[in-house]
């Protein structure tokens, strides 16, 4: 029994992620949300309600006032001088190679992971058309630290 437990612990330690991988900055999750005229993306805190309301907004584009990306990211162990999140967004009205860009300076919180939002204004959303692809990047000045992109990017 002792040998089996010891073998399990050694196997677990050998297959665990390296410390370098855990210390790198990372974009964990990106949630694109349509906002209604009141600036809401859901009517209640339920995830089911949020998804149902997003579907309603998608079916009735005249009710959409803007587009917001909620981004979960972590800085890892890196101490950057100037953290910046950038969204590059393609729409159905975009010409080839042309996309909308939204940037925002961010600061890591006291916890391991952070949530930040990037919003596309009402006018910019109207000229974008329907959302077709996006790419979210995390920057330190001019250095790209992490990215996550949609399937069609």
The predicted-structure confidence for 33-79, as pLDDT tens digits, reads as follows 999 999 999 999 999 999 999 999 999 988 999 999 999 999 887 77
Question: Of 14, 27, 33, nearest to 148 (Cα)?
Answer: 27
Supply the pTM of this predicted model: 0.78
Residue 116 in any domain: the answer is yes
The predicted-structure confidence for 112-149, as pLDDT tens digits, reads as follows 778 999 998 888 888 888 888 999 999 998 999 999 99
Domain span holding position 119: 26-149
Residue 20 in any domain: the answer is no
CATH number for the domain spanning 56: value is 2.60.40
Residue 99 in any domain: the answer is yes
Query: How long is the chain?
Result: 153
DSSP-derived pairing of the beta strands 131-140 and 143-149: antiparallel
């Amino acid at each position: 029994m002792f040998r089996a437990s010891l073998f399990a612990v050694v196997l677990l330690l050998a297959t665990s992620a390296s410390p370098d991988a855990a210390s790198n900055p990372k974009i964990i999750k990106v949630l694109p949300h349509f906002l209604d005229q009141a600036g809401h993306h859901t009517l209640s805190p339920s995830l089911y309600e949020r998804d149902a309301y997003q579907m309603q907004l998608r079916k009735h584009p005249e009710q959409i006032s803007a587009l917001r990306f909620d981004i979960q990211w972590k800085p890892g162990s890196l101490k950057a001088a100037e953290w910046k999140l950038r969204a590059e967004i393609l729409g159905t009205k975009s010409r080839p190679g042309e996309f909308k860009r939204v940037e925002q300076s961010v600061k890591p919180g006291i916890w391991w992971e952070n949530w930040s939002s990037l919003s596309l204004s009402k006018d910019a959303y109207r000229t974008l058309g329907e959302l077709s692809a996006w790419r979210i990047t995390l920057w330190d000045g001019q250095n790209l630290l992490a990215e996550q992109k949609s399937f069609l990017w």
